[in-house]
Amino acid sequence: MSVNALQLVSRSALVALAAAISASACGDAVSPVCPGDIVTVTASSGTTPEFTWTPACPVAQLDVDDMTQGGVNVWRISGQGTNAIAPGLRYGETPTGAVQLRAPDPLVAGREYRLTVLRWVGDAQSGGLAGGGVARFTP
């Protein structure tokens, strides 16, 4: 094999390896890398808002708390130790791969709510929830 052919193979292998590492950093092949596991969270309007975040990586837990009622949790879903919850999620809808830990209470127009998402960092045995993002919204 010529030196040029060997260099081409080596570059191709490095590009493939870098792509695999980058894709696995967020837990699935189509998600962008989540630097520091921090995301920017938003909620659409209405009493069944859609929750999105950027970068669009999956998260491990999503909480909605009623701040008008002192921070009482009104909905919680979990990926059970994996980043299984993708952005673009509507309030009250539990996505495939997640479980509902607290059934959703109806959101009340005019009340202030806090949306919190957390990422799973580490492996299933020794990892934990970290980072994520927080947003306040009023339907």
96 pLDDT more than 90: yes
Distance CA 4, CA 8 (A): 6
Higher-confidence position of 19 and 117: 117
Helix (H) or strand (E) holding 9: helix 3-24
Model confidence at 102, pLDDT cuts 50, 70, 90, reads very high
Tell me if the bond preceding 55 is cis, omega within 30° of 0. Answer: yes
Parse the chain into domains and list their residue ranges: 34-137
Q: Residue 38 — left, alpha, or beta (φ > 0 → left; ψ -120 to 50 → alpha)?
A: beta
Q: Render pLDDT for 55-89 as a digit per residue (tens, 0 to 9).
A: 999 999 999 999 999 999 999 999 998 999 999 99
pLDDT band of 127, cuts 50, 70, 90: confident
Average pLDDT on 4-10 reads 42
Instruction: Report the alpha-carbon angle 69-75-78, nearest 5.
Output: 140
- How far, in Å, CA of 55 to CA of 72, rounded? 28
CATH 2.60.40 is held by the domain 34-137: yes
